[in-house]
Amino acid sequence: MKSAASNQPTVVSTPNLQGFEIKRRPIVGLGLLMSSVIGSLAVLIYFGAWASTDRIEIRVLAAEISGLQAEGEWWEDGLIFACPLH
């Protein structure tokens, strides 16, 4: 299957693509991609906020026993703030 493939030229003119154009923007493709990104972030924020609420509740219960004050970590507070369901 060895062929006599010639050495290819290194300097030739750019192929003529004049006249070909894609006028429409890829709205559907980009829209679907963005929907997935937003949906995935929503899932992460929802479960992250759920986990944060549980963690803080556990610490509050422990703090009530020990008499100390329980505070959320910055990322726990951030997730709970970002999630409208928590």
58 interacts with another protein by CB under 8 A: no
Minimum distance from residue 9 beta carbon to another protein (Å): 6
Identify the burial level of 52 via C-beta atoms within 10 angstroms of its C-beta, where 0-12 means exposed, 13-18 middle and 19 or more buried: buried
- Binder to another protein among 42, 45, 54, 73 (CB under 8 A)? 54
Closest CB to another protein among residues 47, 68: 47
17 interacts with another protein by CB under 8 A: yes
Question: Do residues 26 and 32 lie in contact, with contact meaning Cβ atoms separated by under 8 Å?
Answer: no
d(CA 15, CA 60): 70
